[in-house]
Amino acid sequence: MNRLKEINKYGQSIWLDYIRRQMLENGELKRWIEEDGIRGVTSNPSIFEKAIQGNDDYDGILASLLAGEPHLGVEEIFERLAVSDIRQAADILRPVYDRTEGSDGYVSMEVSPHLAHDREKTIARVRHLWGSIDRPNLMIKVPATREGVSAFEELTAAGININVTLMFSLAHYDAVADAYIAGLERCPDPTRVASVASFFVSRVDTAVDRELEAIGTPEALALRGKAAISNAKLAYRRFREIFYGAPFVELRNRGAHVQRVLWGSTGTKNPAYPDTYYVRELIGPDTVNTVPPATLAAFRDHGKAAPTLDQGLEEAIDVQHRLAALGIVLYPITETLQDEGVQAFADSYDKLLATLDEKCRRLMQGNHSVNR
């Protein structure tokens, strides 16, 4: 059996962390769904920027837009491109959504990261995108900042599917899970709402490993590459306590979906670690792993699917104790990671707009040259 499809046997869905117009039009996404068992797609400004900059997929539609509406702003142009791509991807994944009765088959699009600390503008923007894209298998990404979590609760109550991103700590997780439950309790039909809690992984190791290497003792160096998996397994334990315990009983009886944990940032950043590390160690029920193409190819080639997420919980707790004994406490590190993540996404968004603006200028100059 395909190694990626085998992961599905253990209750985990693999979503592709990548989107490009060509893969929607040439059947590549459909093949990934059929052959590899891909059950969703996520996008972000960096992914769109690379897709627009690196090829001519968008030149035709951009030229048409600029010819018909030459005074469109660059943000409006990006929205037109993104909405078109997201709709097309959602339509390709719709059979997965229907087959799984709304548990899978989602496409995620990110709200502007510049709104991360503005509750009201986030709500307004999400409502706008939800109406513009008009697909039941859309998820809109909202960051797990204090303002974002508050917006998430309100949007859940309104029946909008949200992918809550940039979660790094148990405190982030608890706040998001509480908001989901509170939002569903106010939702007229909670059976129609789906959400994932995107818990970032590899960035935690990058930050903690830096501190361990600065300490430099054998005890410290032995803990490299362990903090992120430990952190994730403890978050999954909280998921089980909340969604299979008393807090969710009433909503479960009303037919509501649990808020699955989504493992984000699962491409291996440290070449010393196996290229499938953050996939193979976090396989378990009610989870999603959103995987970039290189990691997808690596797991297809030599990955090993096994139910690893429920294993090694005592070791995960021990890792936290050993880190603390060295003076490394995850909470302040994870707060910094969230702040840096918001800024990085905002920077990527600005770079995307600059890239798009430059391409539009080139296309317009080319059109003027042809017209002369």
| Integer Cα distance of 254 and 261 in angstroms | 21
Contact 215, 332 (CB under 8 A): no
CB neighbour class for 371 (10 Å; exposed up to 12, middle 13-18, buried from 19): exposed
Q: Which value, in Å, is the radius of gyration of the alpha carbons in the chain?
A: 21
Q: What's the gap between Cα 357 and its chain centre?
A: 26
Reply yes or no on whether 141 is catalytic. Answer: yes
Buried b or exposed e, range 59-95, using 16+ CB within 10 angstroms: eeebeebbeeeeeeebeebbbbbbbebbbbbbebbee
Q: Which of 5, 30, 141, 351 is catalytic?
A: 141
Q: Which residues contact 54 (CB under 8 A, 6 or more apart)?
A: none
Q: What share of the chain is helix, strand, coil (3-state, %, to 5)?
A: 60, 10, 30
What is the CA angle 121-124-128, rounded to 5? 135
Contact 298, 275 (CB under 8 A): yes
Contacts 24+ apart (CB under 8 A), 32-36: 32/296, 33/92, 33/93, 33/96, 35/2, 36/2, 36/4, 36/5, 36/296, 36/300
Instruction: Give catalytic residue positions.
Output: 141
